[in-house]
Amino acid sequence: MVRVVKLAAAPATLNLPHRSRTKELPSPPMSDQLTNDNILAALSSVKDPEIGRDLVSLGMVKDVLIDGSVVDLTVELTTPACPLKATIESDIGDALAALGATTVRVDWASNVKRTFGGPAADLIPGVKNTIAVASGKGGVGKSTVAVNLAVSLARDGARVGLLDADITGPNVPLMMGTQGAHVTGSGGKPNPVVSHGVQMMSIQYFLQADAPVIWRGPLIHSAIAQFLRDVEWGELDYLVIDLPPGTGDAALSLSQLIPLTGAVIVTTPQEVSLLDARKAVAMFNKVNVRTLGVIENMSGFVCPHCSEEHDIFGSGGGEKIARELELEVLGRIPLEPAVRSGGDAGVPITSAQYPGGDTTAAALALREVARTVAGRVSVLAAPVTVGSGAI
């Protein structure tokens, strides 16, 4: 997508890209300062707000074209879900205006970097980043957050997978509208089920509709290992993993099997949820998995009749636990009936298929959370600066 920044008023010929069929209009005069070297030098002062380093050293500036006082360039973002495009675009405009540019056209591209390597990563060779969505207890909307995180990232243009690691209580197929679907594949390698732009795998795709899974720990570990190793995931920017509640077999298996980029902890504001969320963070610390931050779900309910906000589950819980554990609050999701109805209908509220979803407070909050998480992952994937270079 191309974004155009008009930097200053200019003579009529500068704002007329149309060329006559019989006579070509002369190109506007080029500023003496608008050279490729000067542009790159100017953009070396523009920083990626998330990573905190300049666009040029990060290799984000591509294909600079100069036509008089008009500059076209491509910025290769570290994620298509970049939350701060507008800030980057404004800073680029300001930097090039100082060189005499009157119009800057920015074309956005993206190249998501991988956050891990090593032998353990060979289990999922095409996956660049893994994000575990966890909670200390059930009933806090963890699966709802995981589903909408995946759908939102895919909607922004990322290649996304969603692994339902809740082997004994899988909910992802229902919430993604794939209840009753079964996997297909050849050579013993199943293909993911695809819905809302997301590739998915769940134990439910191998079962009859209401068949229970009554398994002990070793079988759960084996199932998760097979979902990671044997599924044809292909190339993914993000694999979102919906963990079961608590700190049991699934979370431990994941941390042993693959490198996890980080974990997102979902909680409600009430104290009993915060108590268990603390345990989830402590568990990830013990297995050397970083916690990306806390998402406070069901943070408040706005009455549709009186427009007053009611704190049904309390208030400030997310901020409280984040402060105690030196974590970041990634977002607050208000309590809205549309979130529940969308999940029950198999059309997540962040999906483009959800009618009016882009206007609801919960959908907007979830979209922003997804972009914030993507930004945090980009920071982790950025090359480390050593002296004047990077590795």
Query: Looking at the structure, do residues 86 and 159 belong to the same domain, yes or no?
Result: no
What tokens were used for 85?
């495009």
Low-confidence stretches of the chain (pLDDT < 50) are 2, 8-26, 386-391
Question: In angstroms, how far is the first alpha carbon of the chain from the final one?
Answer: 30
pLDDT at 22: 34
pLDDT at 262: 97
Residue 245 belongs to domain with CATH number: 3.40.50.300
Query: Looking at the structure, do residues 246 and 378 belong to the same domain, yes or no?
Result: yes
- How many domains does the chain divide into? 2
Query: Looking at the structure, do residues 23 and 164 belong to the same domain, yes or no?
Result: no
pLDDT digits (tens, 9 = 90+) for 315-346: 787 888 889 999 999 999 999 999 999 999 99
For residue 332, which phi and psi values (nearest 5 degrees)?
-120, 125
Domain with 312 in it: 119-385
106-110-114 Cα angle (round to 5): 155
Helix (H) or strand (E) holding 6: strand 2-6
Residue 48 belongs to domain with CATH number: 3.30.300.130
Query: Looking at the structure, do residues 86 and 123 belong to the same domain, yes or no?
Result: no
pLDDT at 328: 94
CB 297, CB 331: distance < 8 Å = no
Query: Looking at the structure, do residues 132 and 64 belong to the same domain, yes or no?
Result: no
Please give the C-alpha separations between residue 390 and each of 4, 128, 168, 386, in angstroms, as whole numbers.
Answer: 31, 20, 45, 5
pLDDT at 14: 29
Around Cβ 52, how many Cβ atoms within 10 Å?
A: 10
Q: The whole model's pTM is what?
A: 0.88
Query: Looking at the structure, do residues 133 and 178 belong to the same domain, yes or no?
Result: yes
pLDDT at 15: 33
Question: Does residue 207 belong to any structural domain of this protein?
Answer: yes
pLDDT digits (tens, 9 = 90+) for 85-130: 999 999 999 999 999 999 999 999 999 999 998 888 899 999 999 9
CB 169, CB 297: distance < 8 Å = no
Around Cβ 272, how many Cβ atoms within 10 Å?
A: 14
Query: Looking at the structure, do residues 123 and 255 belong to the same domain, yes or no?
Result: yes
> Could you give the CA distance from residue 133 to residue 190 in angstroms, rounded to a whole number?
24
